[in-house]
Amino acid sequence: MNCLRLFILLIVAVLAGCATNSSQNSYAPSKKAYTAAETSRTIDLTHPPRDMWDRVRRGFAIPNLNSDLTERWTDYYASHPESVLLMSKRAGKYLYHIVDELDRRGLPTELALLPFVESAYNPTAYSSAKASGLWQFIPSTGLQYKLAQDAWRDQRRDPVASTSAALDYLSYLYDFQGDWYLALASYNWGEGSVKRALEKNTNAGMPADYASIKMPDETRNYVPKLQAIKNIIANPKKYGITLPEVSNTPYFTTVQKTDDIDIEVAARLAEISVEEFKALNASFNRPIILAEHQPALLLPTNRVDIFKANLEAYKGKLSSWQTYKSTPGESYVTIAKQYGISVAQLRAINGLGSKATRAIAQTLLVPAPGSKGSIQLASLEVPSTPSRPANSAKTSRGNDVVVLQRKANVRTHTVKSGETLFSLAKQYNTSVDELRKLNNLANNKLAKGKRLRVPGTSIRG
């Protein structure tokens, strides 16, 4: 009888030890490949991803963190559905690229949710610690990962460059710490700080893992916030959240530019708003994008062909600015006078301090001859806006002039073999988008013999 009692006690002790180890491992994982069961995923893999959210869920690979803080932050986000919706809409522009990069590197797709926590998916987010961009790089770490930061551009705000840098950094942190929770804590607090906290616990004979080390409140809440976003993305219906539609297709495409071009001109050539252009190209600090930087413009994929066609047909100035190479000690007053602007304008255009009076060896932005900073779009047709009559011929904005070659007349054109919307846009001095609107076209395909409505006067044979 005593032997039986002893045997039962041994079994209970073993089971209790297993339960304790299991609990610790679910909170602070060891470095290994995680299975679907460990991340509490139930996914039907018999069909391709329905959209980007489905694709994100399929790549979850970091063990779930179940804690009071996680529950608290999940409740918080669930009680602010309008904020989740706003962040999710912003994310739609960047998710495909980020998840593609994660898949290419074999990294967990939870990392695509990190900008929710870092920047609310705002590419121009800027913190009191001088962190900037989707991934919130501070200046020094940004430079360490080769993100250019100067008067002309800040690549911490470049979605492509900053994503590459962030995933490089996160991969390094995981290799360094051997644990995704510690890697994420290091991304927020710094790997040195986390390492010292682990060493302090080790020296004190205490457990050296994520659950046990002492961290600042911001870092202690960091992983639970990410887990909370993961919980909602994993099962939005459970929390009463409706996610916006995000197609599993590239939102943007890269276009190389070999000439200086104004941001406003580039946006209008792509037939998108300046705000939408800047959302993808937030790294540019000035109203002009310099060719010497070998820029890669990011354009919505459905606007790339339109941009190229409009660019080829465009006869106006691509830029109303030019650069001036100053010499050390040169007076800003003299430079401003030479280009017909005030020194205050020169400072504002170039981000110079109010007390700066003498130049260093630098590249300054000044108005091109005869432009005075205006944007001339004399040969580009621009769609009308609700606040402007459709037959308006000209609208003036101070020195900025945009000419709208809006035509009241239309005629019909019968499509010939080999003709495209792009060639017809050139022929009739209009845009692909306008031809689509005039003819209610869903795509760029044209059939021989199709009759199209086109602007009234042909300017090319």
CATH architecture of the domain 321-367 equals Roll (3.10)
- Collapsed DSSP state (helix, strand, coil) of residue 331: strand
Query: In the chain, where are the structural domains located?
Result: 47-239, 252-319+375-403, 321-367, 410-455
> Does residue 18 have a pLDDT over 70?
no
Query: Average pLDDT, stretch 211-223?
Result: 98
Percent of the chain predicted with pLDDT > 90? 64
> Does residue 382 have a pLDDT over 60?
no
- Looking at domain 47-239, its CATH class is mainly alpha
Query: Average pLDDT, stretch 205-234?
Result: 98
* Under 8 Å between Cβ of 118 and 127: no
Of 5-19, 183-197, 369-383, minimum mean pLDDT range: 5-19
Give the number of residues written for the chain.
Answer: 461
pLDDT per residue as tens digits for the range 21-61 = 333 333 333 333 333 334 445 556 677 899 999 999 999 99
Distance between CA 317 and CA 294 in Å, rounded? 19
Distance between CA 125 and CA 367 in Å, rounded? 30
Secondary structure (DSSP) of 167-196: HHHHHHHHHHHSSHHHHHHHHHH-HHHHHH
pLDDT per residue as tens digits for the range 326-352 = 999 999 999 999 999 999 999 988 889
pLDDT per residue as tens digits for the range 358-371 = 999 998 999 988 66
- Collapsed DSSP state (helix, strand, coil) of residue 250: coil
**Torsion sign, CA atoms 137, 139, 141, 145:** positive
User: Are 47-239 and 321-367 equal in CATH topology?
Assistant: no
Instruction: List, by residue number, the catalytic residues.
Output: 118
Distance between CA 175 and CA 355 in Å, rounded? 47
- At residue 5, the pLDDT reads 52
The model scores a pTM over 0.85: no
Query: Average pLDDT, stretch 212-237?
Result: 98
Fold held by 410-455: Membrane-bound Lytic Murein Transglycosylase D; Chain A (3.10.350)
